[in-house]
Structure 1
Amino acid sequence: MADKEPIRVVICGKSEEVGRGIIAGLQPEVEGKPIHSMTHTVSQQLLLRREILRTLSQGENTDSPARASPTLVIHFGLSPAALAAELPAVLAGRAPASASSGLGTGNYQEEEGGRPRRPRAVVFGGAWDGADVETVRAAVRGCGGEGDGVVMLRHDGRKPSPPLGPAYGPHVVQRVKDVLGRLVRGEEVEWAGEGVVWY
């Protein structure tokens, strides 16, 4: 069976120390397939779910649907404002002129056929609120077609989490993987707003 190709993501976190652990937990060996953000209406969700399943089934064995695609962190931003400034270049397949962090693979180069290796999701750490997420969403929307299909994953503070420490990173990694897996498989997720999903 062919391994599933990873979903490229960007992380917005307040601490590189925590970010390193989360990136290590998400990091696979190769790069690949996109996910698509789903919208709020039932008919649009059904159409997008079909498209997700069709896209994911092309050229790979899908006899293990519960297995999530691995994740590849290509960029890490240390604040919503910094990430909003960096994302236009990242979405266009280029390194930002000035990066707030050196974490992530930094692999922005183009795939065969000249298409950028765009991230399909932006994952926000627990330090960021709805206004912070909207700052980054506005930057993604400002990228036009290059921002299409990029979903925001917002930390859900209502769910219990361990305190910052050794158990925190693995806990966050599992929550992110679970939500990305549900998006890829077209399963239900909890929406925090348009284009934003709780994890």
Structure 2
Amino acid sequence: MAEPLPVILCGKTEKIGETVIATLKPEFEVIHFVMTPESGAVQIPALLRGETDVPFDSELGSKDYSRGIAAIILGGGYEDAGIYLMREAAKGIKSVPWLRPDLSKPAPPLGPEYGKAMVERIKVTVKELQDKGTMSEDAMVYY
């Protein structure tokens, strides 16, 4: 089996984050969990630059920064302004896909089932990016 892809997960709550992290395994390893756009605007650029002494506001994530970042996964609680803030801060550092939920698609209410449904969509989307050879492109991709 291939090594799990190292990803940054951005979520508003650790409770949903825990479920998402567990469900993303074994295909993905969440190495860092970002809880606010403001902290993401500091932490994500540092991680994309390969820094390892990065501040964090959550204990979630493996904190194993040795393999870099393959993708940034955004939860449904992040709005346009917050995403823009983080993307602008990270602009031009390293090209990775930013995965954002398509909120027009049906999903369960917030809770464990919501996280599981989002993970299935993430896995399908990343597989499509890998098949197309576009995992190293800086793009906003909806899942």
Task: Give the conservation status (yes or no) of the 8 Å contact 1:25–1:170.
Answer: yes
Q: Which runs of 5+ in 1 are unaligned?
A: 29-69, 110-116, 189-193
Task: Give the conservation status (yes or no) of the 8 Å contact 2:74–2:98.
Answer: yes
Local SS of the residue matching 1:167:
helix
C-alpha RMSD of matched pairs (Å):
1.8
**Deviation at 1:84?**
1.2
**Deviation at 1:90?**
1.7
- CA distance in 1: counterparts of 2:41 and 2:96, whole angstroms: 13
Partner residue of 2:61? Answer: 104
Local SS of the residue matching 1:197:
strand
**2:78 equivalent to 1:128:** yes
**Deviation at 1:95?**
3.1
Identity of aligned residues (%): 37
Task: Give the conservation status (yes or no) of the 8 Å contact 1:9–1:122.
Answer: yes
- CA distance in 2: counterparts of 1:14 and 1:136, whole angstroms: 14
Q: Which runs of 4+ in 1 moved over 2 A?
A: none
**2:33 equivalent to 1:16:** no
Q: Which runs of 5+ in 2 are unaligned?
A: none
Per-residue CA deviations over 1:49-98 (Å, capped at 9, x if unaligned) read xxxxxxxxxxxxxxxxxxxxx111110000111011112332214131x2
Partner residue of 1:197? Answer: 141
Partner residue of 1:83? Answer: 40
Letter in 2 for 1:18: I
Partner residue of 1:155? Answer: 101
**Deviation at 1:151?**
1.1
Letter in 1 for 2:25: Q
Structure number with greater Rg is 1
Local SS of the residue matching 1:152:
strand
- CA distance in 1: counterparts of 2:45 and 2:110, whole angstroms: 31
Partner residue of 2:69? Answer: 119
**Deviation at 1:181?**
0.8
Task: Give the conservation status (yes or no) of the 8 Å contact 1:133–1:152.
Answer: no
Task: Give the conservation status (yes or no) of the 8 Å contact 1:93–1:118.
Answer: no
TM-score under structure 1 length normalisation: 0.65
- CA distance in 1: counterparts of 2:84 and 2:96, whole angstroms: 13
Task: Give the conservation status (yes or no) of the 8 Å contact 2:11–2:36.
Answer: yes
Aligned positions, number: 139
Partner residue of 2:120? Answer: 174
Alignment of 1:15-94 (within 5 A): 15-28=13-26, 70-91=27-48, 92-94=50-52
Partner residue of 1:95? Answer: 53
